[in-house]
Chain A
Amino acid sequence: MPIQVLMPALSPTMEKGNLAKWLKKEGEPIKSGDVIAEIETDKATMEVEATDEGTLGKILIPEGTADVAVNTPIATILADGESAADLAKAAPPAKQQKAAESAPPAEAKKEAPVSPAPAVPAAPQAVAVPEPEVPEGTEMVTMTIREALRDAMAEEMRRDPDVFIMGEEVAEYQGAYKVTQGLLQEFGARRVIDTPITEHGFAGVGIGAAMAGLKPIVEFMTFNFAMQAMDQLINSAAKTLYMSGGQMGCSIVFRGPNGAAARVAAQHSQDYSAWYSQIPGLKVIAPFSAADYKGLLKAAIRDPNPVVFLENEVLYGHSGEVPKLDDYVVPIGKARVARQGSHVTIISWSMGMSYALKAAEELAKEGIEAEVVDVRTLRPLDTETIVESVKKTGRAVTVEEGWQQNGVGAEIAARIMEHAFDYLDAPVLRVSGKDVPMPYAANLEKLALPSAAEVVQAAKAVCYR
Chain B
Amino acid sequence: MAAPKKSAAKELNAEKGEGAVAEFTKEQELRALRDMLLIRRFEEKAGQLYGMGAIGGFCHLYIGQEAVVVGMQMALKLGDEVITGYRDHGHMLACGMDPKGVMAELTGRRGGYSKGKGGSMHMFSMEKNFFGGHGIVGAQVSLGTGLAFANRYRGNDFVSITYFGDGAANQGQVYESFNMAELWKLPVVYVIENNRYAMGTSVTRASAQSDFSKRGASFNIPGEQVDGMDVRAVKAAGDKAIAWCRAGKGPYILEMQTYRYRGHSMSDPAKYRTREEVEKVRHEHDPIEQVRNRLLAAKVSEDELKAIDAEVREIVNAAADFAQHDPEPDASELYTDVYR
Residues of A in contact with B (beta carbons under 8 Å apart): 6, 8-12, 32-33, 43-49, 51, 70, 95-96, 99, 104-109, 111-115, 117, 119-121, 123-124, 164, 190, 195-196, 198, 200-214, 231-232, 235-236, 240-249, 280-281, 283, 304-305
Contacts and interface: CB of A to CB of B under 8 A. Distances in A.
Contact of B142 (A9, A32, A204, A213): A204
Contacts of A207: 142-143, 146
B331 A247 contact: no
Given A44-B267, A95-B324, A190-B153, A8 B52 contact: yes
A241 B338 contact: yes
Given A196-B183, A232-B139, 17 more contacts: A9-B53, A10-B267, A99-B53, A105-B54, A112-B325, A114-B327, A164-B153, A190-B153, A201-B142, A205-B142, A208-B144, A211-B147, A212-B150, A242-B117, A242-B337, A246-B337, A283-B339
Given A112-B326, A112-B327, A241 B337 contact: yes
A106 B107 CA distance: 11
12 contacts: A12-B57, A46-B263, A109-B328, A121-B331, A195-B180, A201-B142, A205-B145, A209-B147, A235-B136, A245-B114, A247-B126, A248-B131
B332 A236 contact: no
A121 B134 CA distance: 28
B140 to A, nearest CB: 9
Nearest to A105: B53
B40 interface: yes
A209 B326 contact: no
Nearest to A98: B324
Nearest to A123: B335
A11 B40 contact: no
A231 B267 contact: no
B287 to A, nearest CB: 14
Contacts of A117: 331
Interface in B34-58: 40-41, 44, 47-48, 50-54, 56-57
Given A113-B327, A211-B146, A244 B339 contact: no
Contacts of B163: none
B109 interface: yes
A173 B120 CA distance: 45
Interface residues of B, number: 81
A245 B337 contact: yes
B180 A248 contact: no
Given A43-B267, A109-B328, A204 B143 contact: yes
B177 A236 contact: no
A111 to B, nearest CB: 7
B176 interface: yes
B44 A32 contact: yes
A458 to B, nearest CB: 34
Contacts of A210: 146
Given A203-B142, A245-B118, A281-B339, A111 B324 contact: yes
Contacts of A190: 153
A88 B327 CA distance: 36
Given A46-B266, A108-B54, A109-B328, A209 B146 contact: yes
Contacts of A280: 338
A212 B146 contact: yes
Most-contacted residue by chain B among A209, A241, A243, A304 (CB, 10 A) = A243
B123 interface: yes
A242 B132 CA distance: 13
Given A46-B263, A214-B153, A283-B339, A33 B40 contact: yes
Given A105-B53, A112-B325, A243-B114, A201 B266 contact: no
Interface string B167-186: 00000110011011001000
B62 interface: no
A49 B63 CA distance: 13
Contacts of A235: 135-136, 139
A212 to B, nearest CB: 4
A211 B162 CA distance: 14
B171 to A, nearest CB: 9
A318 B240 CA distance: 56
